[in-house]
């Protein structure tokens, strides 16, 4: 039987466009394919590079950049928790459930898992998507190279590149040979002099990976990490056998009340010989509900007062990574400072950086301030086109795009856009936990189920 005989005319196909081929896009595509046996379904992943599974999170080629979640929690399928471990064993990688695989290996895992479920209903199209235009018949997908139709669209564009680096007074850091605006340009980091002094602005997980590449590749290099709080992510420790069921406040909540409750839980756990990590992990199942229960003003207070303290405890470093940083600091090659970037003087190939009372002559300043969350400042032409038309809108906290808790995109008037969905980090304003695989895979499954149900009804109606 030919493809045309099997599916009918091309016009009768039901096409779902997945915009973005990183982890969010791959997990969404996998769920669409496994949840539907409809031969008329067509899933098209639009990925600018044409290579799926990587995205910003897993696009590194440095094997020393490790996942910050234990392998036993990183399966693509929540109902098959050992899937990643089984894959690692089969492919000759570490299958330690308590271990932390390289990020690059996880990209290969996602690619393999997509290949396992792929059939002739899957397409991957290279090229940047410039616009998604709603129409009476669905959507028109406009790329650099073509235009095509889709009946439903799932935005899986992931994190935006880092927000532009600015000084404390708001002035932009100038473009210059020493200004590394994108920390994932590893070739630029590796090309720095063997004895370079580098200022890394930011102290989060991306900054940690940047430091590892810089200092492991150049034993004579020196790095100063600078951030407002000067806080590094906390390390994971040996897996404790004692779990902790974290109690959460009932009824109306405030940011202060949640912080007090978590502090009290940590004290209670410590009295029983249980560390704070178990309390933080025990809060994870309730985090989304707590976030949704917080009024807008209380969410703002959480972001202003508690967010960084929470992030460094919630998103922890692999133990091996923490030991590397500890060694660098002992050797005097790594310095972590609280403060802001107050001044940068261009010296040609180098620069002079002023932060607080310290001044550094540096070979590079690397922007590791974290992904840009305010979509109104995004340079992505797709985001700008959607915003300009009012098809999408920033969420009230400017953490991403506005959407329902189920992932349906809300337009500028606050109304759901039929058949337009959102998966992954841009949902952080609605669901605070939207950046880690366990939450992303749940979002992908939920959105895929909704899309399959709607497209199935459409097929029956036709």
Residue 394's SS3 state is strand
Given this model, what pLDDT does residue 222 score?
97
pLDDT at 6 over 60: no
Contact assessment for residue 417 and residue 134, using Cβ atoms and an 8 Å cutoff: yes
Whole-structure pTM value: 0.93
- The tens digit of pLDDT for each residue in 240-267 reads 566 788 888 888 999 999 999 999 999 9
Instruction: Say how far apart CA 127 and CA 122 lie, in whole Å.
Output: 16
Q: What do you get for the CA distance between the two ends of the chain, in Å?
A: 23
pLDDT at 462 over 80: no
C-alpha distance from residue 82 to each of 77, 100, 111, 187, 236 (Å):
9, 14, 17, 35, 21
pLDDT at 7 over 50: no
Given this model, what pLDDT does residue 369 score?
94
Contact assessment for residue 439 and residue 428, using Cβ atoms and an 8 Å cutoff: no
Task: Give me the half-sphere count of Cα atoms (radius 13 Å) on the Cβ side of residue 251.
Answer: 1
Given this model, what pLDDT does residue 236 score?
95
Given this model, what pLDDT does residue 242 score?
64
Instruction: Say how far apart CA 165 and CA 172 lie, in whole Å.
Output: 6
pLDDT at 293 over 70: yes
The CATH architecture annotation of domain 3-65+102-161+373-461 reads 3-Layer(bba) Sandwich (3.50)
Q: Where are the domains of the chain?
A: 3-65+102-161+373-461, 179-234+316-367, 255-314
Instruction: Say how far apart CA 67 and CA 236 lie, in whole Å.
Output: 11
DSSP letters, 17-53, are EEE--SHHHHHHHHHHHHH---TTEEEEEEETTS--S
Closest CA to 263 of 306, 226, 326: 306
- The tens digit of pLDDT for each residue in 172-188 reads 999 999 999 999 999 99
Please work out, in degrees rounded to the nearest 5, the angle formed at the alpha carbon of residue 164 by the alpha carbons of 438 and 45.
45
- The tens digit of pLDDT for each residue in 97-114 reads 999 999 999 999 999 999
Instruction: Say how far apart CA 131 and CA 445 lie, in whole Å.
Output: 25
Residue 90's SS3 state is helix
pLDDT at 197 over 60: yes
Given this model, what pLDDT does residue 1 score?
27
Three-state DSSP string of 210-264: HHHHHHHHCCCCEEEEEECCCCCCCECCCCCCCCCCCCCCCCCCCHHHHHHHHHH
Fold agreement between 3-65+102-161+373-461 and 179-234+316-367: yes
The fold of 179-234+316-367 is: FAD/NAD(P)-binding domain (3.50.50)
Q: Can you tell me the mean pLDDT for 270-282?
A: 93
Q: Can you tell me the mean pLDDT for 300-321?
A: 96
Instruction: Say how far apart CA 403 and CA 153 lie, in whole Å.
Output: 14
Given this model, what pLDDT does residue 8 score?
39
pLDDT at 5 over 60: no
Least confident of 9-13, 48-52, 97-101: 9-13
**What is the Cα 131 distance to its own chain's centre?**
22
């Amino acid at each position: 039987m030919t493809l045309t005989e099997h599916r009918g005319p091309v016009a009768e196909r039901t096409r779902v466009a997945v915009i973005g081929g990183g982890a969010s896009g791959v997990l969404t595509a996998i769920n669409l394919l496994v949840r539907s046996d409809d031969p008329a379904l067509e899933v098209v992943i639009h990925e600018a590079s044409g290579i799926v599974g990587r995205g910003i999170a897993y696009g590194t080629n440095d094997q020393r950049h490790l996942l910050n979640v234990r392998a036993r929690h990183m399966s693509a399928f929540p109902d098959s928790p050992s899937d990643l471990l089984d894959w690692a064993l089969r492919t000759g990688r570490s299958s330690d459930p308590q271990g932390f695989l390289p990020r690059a290996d996880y990209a290969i895992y996602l690619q393999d898992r997509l290949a396992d479920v792929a059939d002739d209903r899957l397409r991957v199209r290279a090229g940047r998507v410039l616009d998604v235009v709603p129409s009476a018949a669905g959507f028109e997908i406009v790329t650099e190279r073509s235009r095509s139709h889709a009946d439903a669209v799932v935005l899986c564009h992931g994190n935006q590149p880092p927000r532009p680096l600015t000084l404390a007074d708001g002035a932009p850091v100038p473009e210059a040979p020493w200004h590394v605006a994108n920390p994932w340009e590893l070739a630029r980091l590796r090309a720095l002099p063997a004895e370079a002094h580098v200022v890394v602005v930011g102290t989060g997980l991306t900054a940690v990976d940047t430091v590892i590449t810089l200092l492991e590749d150049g034993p004579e290099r020196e790095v100063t990490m600078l951030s407002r709080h000067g806080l590094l992510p906390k390390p994971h420790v040996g897996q404790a056998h004692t779990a902790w069921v974290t109690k959460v406040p009932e009824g109306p909540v405030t940011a202060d009340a949640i912080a007090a409750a978590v502090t009290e839980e940590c004290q209670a756990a410590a009295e029983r010989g249980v560390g704070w990590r178990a309390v933080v992990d025990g809060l994870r199942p309730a985090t989304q509900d707590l976030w949704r229960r917080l009024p807008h003003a209380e969410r703002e207070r959480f972001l202003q007062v508690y967010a960084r303290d929470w992030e460094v405890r919630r998103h922890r470093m692999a133990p091996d990574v923490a030991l590397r940083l500890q060694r660098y600091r002992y050797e005097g090659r790594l310095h972590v400072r609280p403060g802001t970037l107050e001044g940068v003087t261009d010296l040609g190939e180098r620069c002079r950086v002023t932060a607080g009372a310290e001044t550094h002559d540096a070979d590079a300043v690397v922007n590791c301030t974290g992904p840009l969350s305010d979509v109104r400042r995004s340079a992505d032409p797709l985001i700008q086109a959607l915003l300009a038309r009012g098809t999408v809108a920033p969420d009230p906290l400017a953490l991403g795009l506005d959407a329902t808790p189920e992932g349906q995109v809300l337009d500028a008037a606050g109304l759901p856009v039929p058949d337009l969905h959102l998966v992954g980090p841009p949902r952080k304003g609605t669901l605070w936990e939207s950046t880690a695989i366990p939450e992303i895979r749940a979002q992908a499954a939920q959105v895929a189920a909704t899309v399959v149900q709607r497209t199935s009804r459409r097929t029956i109606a036709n």
